[in-house]
Amino acid sequence: MPVKNEFDVIVIGGGITGAGTARDCAMRGLKVLLIERNDIATGATGRNHGLLHSGARYAVKDSESAEECIRENKILREIASNCVEDTGGLFITLPEDEESGYGLDYQSKFLEACTKAGIEARAISPKEAIEMEPSVNPALIGAVVVPDGSVDPFRLCAANVTDAAMHGAKVLVYTEFLDFLREGDTILGVKVLDTRTGQKAEYRAPVTVNAAGIWGHGVAEKAGVHIGMYPAKGALLVFGHRVNNVVINRCRKSADGDILVPGDSVTVIGTTSTKVPFEECDHMEVTPDEVRLLLREGCALCPALADTRILRAYAGVRPLVADDSDPTGRSISRGIVCLDHETRDGLKGFVSITGGKLMTYRLMAELATDTVCRKLGVNKTCNTAHTPLPGSMDGRIETVSKRFEGGATAGQKGAAGRQGDLVGKIRFESEEDRKLICECENVTLAEIKYAVRELGVRNLGDLRRRTRVGMGTCQGTFCIRKAAKALAEALGQPELADKLAADYLDERWKGMRAVGWGDTLREMEFMQRVYKSGKPYSYDEV
Amino acid sequence: MQERNISANNFEQCQKCSICETVCPVMANNPAYAGPKRSGPDGERYRLKNGIFFEDSLKYCLNCKRCEVACPSGVRVADLIQQARIDYGRKLPKLRDTMLASTDQVGPLASAFAPIANFSLGLAPVKGVMHLALGVDRHRTLPKYASETFVRWFKKNAEDKQAQYSKHISYYHGCYANYNYPQLGKDFVAVMNAFGYGVHLIEGERCCGVAKIANGMIEAATRDARTNVDLFRESVKAGREIVTVSTTCTMTLLEEYPTLLKVGNDQVRDHIHLVERFLWKAIASGEVKPVWKEDWKARAAYHCPCHQERLGLGIFTMELMKMIPGMELTELESNCCGIAGTYGFKKENYKVSQAIGKPLFDDIAAAAPEFVVCECETCKWQIEMSTGVPVKNPVSILADALDLDKTAILNKPTK
Task: Return d(Cα B175, Cα B249) in angstroms, integer.
Answer: 9
Q: What are the backbone dihedrals phi and psi of residue A94, each rounded to the nearest 5 degrees, phi first? A: -105, 160
Using alpha carbons, select from A319, A334, A356, A315 the residue that is nearest to residue A47: A315
What pairing do the DSSP bridges indicate for beta strands A259-263 and A266-270? antiparallel
Residue B364 has pLDDT above 70, yes or no: yes
Task: Return d(Cα A480, Cα A466) in angstroms, integer.
Answer: 15
Which candidate from A240, A397, A436 shows the least CB-CB separation from B50?
A: A397
Looking at the DSSP bridge assignments, the partners of residue A313 are: A237
Q: Is the minimum CB–CB distance between B32 and chain A shorter than 8 Å?
A: no
For residue B130, what pLDDT is reported?
67
With beta carbons less than 8 A apart as the criterion, state whether A92 and A110 touch: no
For residue A230, what pLDDT is reported?
85
Q: What are the backbone dihedrals phi and psi of residue A158, each rounded to the nearest 5 degrees, phi first? A: -60, -40
Q: For chain B, first and last CA: distance in Å?
A: 61
Which of B22, B46, B75, B80 to mutate: most A Cβ within 10 Å? B46
Start-end of H helices in A28-87: 56-59, 63-79
- Grouping H, G, I as helix, E, B as strand and the rest as coil, residue A9 is strand
CB B1 to CB A292 under 8 A?
yes
What pairing do the DSSP bridges indicate for beta strands A436-438 and A350-355? unpaired
Which candidate from B42, B55, B56 shows the least CB-CB separation from A439?
A: B42
Q: Is the minimum CB–CB distance between A240 and chain B shorter than 8 Å?
A: yes
**Chain B positions in Cβ-Cβ contact with residue A294 (cut-off 8 Å):** none
Residue B96 has pLDDT above 80, yes or no: no
Q: What is the ipTM of this complex?
A: 0.92
CB B2 to CB A413 under 8 A?
no
Which candidate from B7, B37, B38 shows the least CB-CB separation from A308?
A: B7
With beta carbons less than 8 A apart as the criterion, state whether A49 and A188 touch: no
Going B343 to B344 to B345 to B346, the CA torsion angle's sign is positive
Q: A311 to chain B: nearest residue by CA?
A: B12
What pairing do the DSSP bridges indicate for beta strands A142-146 and A122-124? antiparallel
Q: Is the minimum CB–CB distance between B36 and chain A shorter than 8 Å?
A: no
CB A240 to CB B53 under 8 A?
no
Mean pLDDT of chain B: 91
Pairs of CB atoms within 8 A across A/B: 96
What pairing do the DSSP bridges indicate for beta strands A229-239 and A266-270? antiparallel
Identity of residue B169: I
Task: Return d(Cα A504, Cα A459) in angstroms, integer.
Answer: 8
**Chain B positions in Cβ-Cβ contact with residue A478 (cut-off 8 Å):** 16, 18
Which candidate from B2, B7, B46 shows the least CB-CB separation from A442?
A: B46
With beta carbons less than 8 A apart as the criterion, state whether B262 and B9 touch: no
For residue B415, what pLDDT is reported?
55
Name residues of chain A where pLDDT drops below 50. Answer: 1-2, 324, 329, 331, 538, 542
Q: Is the minimum CB–CB distance between A352 and chain B shorter than 8 Å?
A: no
- Grouping H, G, I as helix, E, B as strand and the rest as coil, residue A385 is coil
Using alpha carbons, select from B203, B229, B233, B209 the residue that is nearest to residue B221: B209
The overall pTM is greater than 0.80 = yes
Task: Return d(Cα A448, Cα A433) in angstroms, integer.
Answer: 9
Task: Return d(Cα B311, Cα B313) in angstroms, integer.
Answer: 5
For residue A153, what pLDDT is reported?
96
pLDDT of A33-54, one tens digit each?
Answer: 999 999 999 999 999 999 999 9
**Chain A positions in Cβ-Cβ contact with residue B54 (cut-off 8 Å):** none
Residue B92 has pLDDT above 70, yes or no: no
For residue A542, what pLDDT is reported?
46
pLDDT of B249-298, one tens digit each?
Answer: 999 999 999 999 999 999 999 999 999 999 999 999 999 999 999 999 99
Task: Return d(Cα A419, Cα A451) in angstroms, integer.
Answer: 10
Please report, to the nearest 10 degrees, the dihedral formed by the alpha carbons of residues A104, A105, A107, A112 taken in order.
150
The kind and range of the H/E element at B21 are helix B19-23
Q: Is the minimum CB–CB distance between B5 and chain A shorter than 8 Å?
A: yes
Task: Return d(Cα A305, Cα A94) in angstroms, integer.
Answer: 17
Domains of chain B in start order, with CATH, are 11-88 (no CATH), 298-401 (3.40.50)
Say how many residues make up chain B.
Answer: 415
Task: Return d(Cα A339, Cα B389) in angstroms, integer.
Answer: 88
Kindly report whether the peptide bond that precedes residue B252 is cis, defined as omega within 30 degrees of 0: no
CB B2 to CB A241 under 8 A?
no
Using pLDDT thresholds of 50, 70 and 90, give the confidence band for residue B2: confident
What pairing do the DSSP bridges indicate for beta strands A336-340 and A9-12? unpaired
With beta carbons less than 8 A apart as the criterion, state whether A337 and A311 touch: no
**Across B207-229, average pLDDT:** 92
Q: Is the minimum CB–CB distance between A440 and chain B shorter than 8 Å?
A: yes
pLDDT of A119-152, one tens digit each?
Answer: 999 999 999 999 999 999 999 999 999 999 999 9
Q: How far is B97 from chain A (nearest CA, A)?
A: 24
With beta carbons less than 8 A apart as the criterion, state whether B386 and B405 touch: no
For residue A474, what pLDDT is reported?
94
